[in-house]
Structure 1
Amino acid sequence: TLTPLGREGDYSIDLELFWPQFQNFITSQKIFSVHPFPSLEVEMLHTGRLDIGRRTRIAKAQVNVDGLPYAIPVEQLNASLTSNAENSGRLEVVPQKLVNQGRAWEFDIYFTATEQDQSSILLVLDMEYAGRDYQFAYETIVLSSLIPPLPPAPAPQVVQPPAPAPPPVGRTIPKGLLAIPAVIVVALIAAGIYIISRTKPYGYLYNDRGELLVDFSSLPRKAAAAFISRDTVKGAELGVGELMGVSFNFGKGRVDIRSARTDPSVRINNRPLIEGEEARLHDQTWIGTQGKLFNFLLAPMMEAQPGTGDD
């Protein structure tokens, strides 16, 4: 038995068979190769009780090889349903986006419950890979459309009638009118604190030649955008034409990038960025689009020369 091997490559193993009573042994050496195979990553989107008759997106499944997206023919991802009832619901596997020739690497899993029951769903990759038949099964997903029993009705409570208010003395201003300005002031203060507390942009953007294009901390911005969207910088503000369709969001200890378009495509460390979704940027993350490469860094390159984005 071998422990799991974490790296791709060729390995050798030495075998020895020993007879101590005869002081004799036989040795043998074998060489074998280790390669990554496709696997499934599943993100559960709905774990509560399912409404009967409603089509619900319960999970998102991604196919990858060694952490990178791997597009497969849609018929190679199978989903099976097991339940106590003869027909507890309808299960669907829908590709999010077809890449080419009917292939996809990301799928939505939908389930429509038709009656009260508890169901088990199994997702299986059934394919040929590296010249051999291959199967990968994800752990069983359990769903429930059982309606919980109603709690007992609370005992009726005896409500005492309120005491009559004392007659007003002289002319008074209703308390409701006095509260309105106070609520407005508190709301304005809270909004100001929220905007100011948001993280200011930080980090640096270089091209593939190591030239500084953008210093986010000193990026010239319009006053309204810098105040209202303090923690978000749109690609149009950078002066880099290839990044017009993206935006950067800054938080404490994190920087996210979002794409608002599908064409031209954007890739983060060679992984496609889907329209409307976010990806986390770390130090020395590569952003590729329209044949150009950009490098995001948390600290400036000491040897880098100023780029076209500097003032």
Structure 2
Amino acid sequence: MEGKNYSRVSEFILLGLSNQPEQEQIMFLVFLIMYLITGLGNLLIILAIKTDSRLHTPMYFFLTNLSLVDICSTSTTIPKMLVNYISGNKAILYISCLAQVFFFSWFTGIDSILLASMAYDRYMAICAPLHYAMVMTPRVCVLLVAVCWLWPCAGALTHTVLMSQLSFCGHTEIPHFFCDGSPLLKLACSDTFINDLMVNIVGSLTVNIPFIGILISYVQIFVTVLKIPSTVGKWKAFSTCGSHLTVVSLFYGTLIGVYFSPTSTHTAQQDTAAAVMYTVVTPMLNPFIYSLRNKDIKGALRMLLFVTMRHPQ
């Protein structure tokens, strides 16, 4: 019991991306703009899909949830970083730090499983088009999205509860711009074997398994597309997957680079740069990737803009 008494630190210090005031002012403006673009871009995608009945299909239902998760995910980390920059106070309360760990783990898991669900949707549309309407029913889509939200929540909650049991012995400086699980585990002075085991289990269930599912889906898709005799048909089939593949590459490329590669192969600065990619840059780029490469989304956005201009009230 004594160990638990002295381990209850009241706050942590987020060292952030820089300790130079001039750089912090620039970073504040850059990340504020990126945060606003992320929120506005993803909100426009959600509104465009909601207002256009032609987009009420499984693929766009999943995309709506992906945009919502991207808004929630960036809101977990960026606002606190902006407050720290503008106030000059880099402290974060212990309970707030654990909350960031929970929500960041949760939303990252949702992103991962949603991308796998979208890959399965493309697999059914291209490899089994005659059965698509029968398999991808509204009920199935709602069930898949429910799994996407609830499955990672259980893992994130367990991970956070275990994190709350650790002793930190006065080590409170986190070399990051938000409370991530990995840097926190390195600060702990108590045994983290169970925590490390839980991280690996959660990572396998919410990142590795969905990623394997995506790979299997796209292997089947490529095999099917290569059998299409028409070049135009092949291009049309591949074009429906291009945006999703781009997002998958950005998300899993940086995520695997940070959490699933040997720590000896990368520095703390590389980890932070990769974290900026998947926590800030990727959610900001997702609306552009899907809208610029998708004529249906572009049409819905134009219609939304037209209606807004016609009826500004």
The question of a shared fold, defined as TM-score above 0.5 by the shorter chain, is answered with no
Between the two structures, name the one with larger relative contact order (CA 8 Å, sep ≥ 6): 2
Q: Which has the higher helix share?
A: 2
TM-score with structure 2 setting the length: 0.21
